[in-house]
Amino acid sequence: MNKKQLWWAVVGAAVLLLALIIAIVSDKETPETTIEKPALIETPIENEATETSDKPKRTEEHDKEQPKMNEIENDVIEPDESKKEHTTKPATRPSNTVSDENSTQPTTTAPKPTEPEKQLNPSTMTSMTDGTYEVGTDIEPGEYLVFSNGVTLLENTTDQSGNPDSIVFNVALDGRSHTYVTVRQGEYFTLKGGEMYPVASAPSIKPANGIYKDGQYKVGTDIPAGTYTLLVEDQSDIGFYEISKNSRQDMMDLLVSDVVEGETSINITDGQYLTIRNAYLKVQ
């Protein structure tokens, strides 16, 4: 064996020795690590054990405290029940009063309904004032005498539609004049600013001094039939007169319609109606 071979043999032996030393060192370190690992594992186990050991204690303490809590709850509940009893007692009192009221109701006698008072027919009253009257319902058909208190408007229609074709007549009175009107069944008569009377109960319109001025007069009732002279109070003024067959205030029923200038002679017969405006005549 030469020196070179010897050298390599020594190197190889050294390497083997070094490897052996490393192996031994590594074997010593592994047990320490294995021992430390269980130590780390044991600590949570101990904690779990302590926690599990504490649970029975807590349950025992909870069981001991539970009766106390039950006793406290019973003590608290009992006043509530007493309060409920107190609160429910007044609630039963109104029911007793209601039953008492119900029991007394049959004994009370209900008042008999009063019959509505019968309204008088306006035609039977002394006079009628402003308003619209349905003929046959509010007033009776027939003839009426209307007195003006200043400015009076009269309108008679066949219905209340407002159609001009339904108008039977329109009359305007001024001053202290008066006029007759005749209304028929189903018509509507409107009076504004005056008083109206059935002819049977109307005041007399005969002048005490025999001088007939503004107004309408029924010949044979208010004024005798005959020939008269109409005059105007102011010679510079113009009067007006009409003679009609009836008091329907229809233009078709007019016999004469003329003006009065100075002196105007007229002839009237029984049953006719004489209307004078801004003129007068005197009955001897």
Query: What pLDDT is stored for residue 151 in this prediction?
Result: 93
**Domain ranges in the chain?**
120-203, 205-284
Are the C-beta atoms of 188 and 119 separated by less than 8 Å? no
Using one digit for the tens of pLDDT, what is the confidence trace for 64-93? 445 444 444 444 444 444 444 444 444 444
Q: Is 110 helix (H, G, I), strand (E, B) or coil?
A: coil
Element (H, E) at 78: helix 3-104
* 3-state helix/strand/coil string of 107-166: HCCCCCCCCCCCCCCHHHCCCECCEEEEECCCECCEEEEEEEEEEEEEEEECCCCCCHHH
Report which residue type is found at 158. Answer: T
Backbone phi and psi for residue 56, each to the nearest 5 degrees, phi listed first: -60, -35
CA 183/CA 98 separation, integer angstroms: 62
Provide the pLDDT for residue 23: 79
Which residue do the tokens 């047990």 mark? 31
118 close to 153: Cβ distance less than 8 angstroms: no
For 84-131, the pLDDT digits (tens) are 444 444 444 444 443 444 444 445 455 554 443 433 344 444 799 999
Amino acid identity, position 46: E
pLDDT at position 88 is 43
Contacts of 152 (CB under 8 A, 6+ apart): 146, 172, 173, 174, 191, 192, 193, 194
- Cα angle 188, 155, 134 (rounded to 5 degrees) comes to 15
Q: How confident is the model at residue 110, as a pLDDT? A: 52
| pLDDT for position 233 | 85
- Report the predicted TM-score, pTM, of the whole model to 2 decimal places: 0.57
Give the contacts of 284 (CB within 8 A, at least 6 positions apart). 210
Q: Are 121 and 140 in contact (CB under 8 A)?
A: yes
Q: What is the pLDDT of residue 13?
A: 84
In order of 32, 36, 205, 284, the CA distances from 40 in angstroms are 13, 6, 140, 156
Spans in the chain with pLDDT lower than 70: 1-2, 27-125
d(CA 65, CA 258): 125
Percentage above 90 pLDDT, the chain: 51
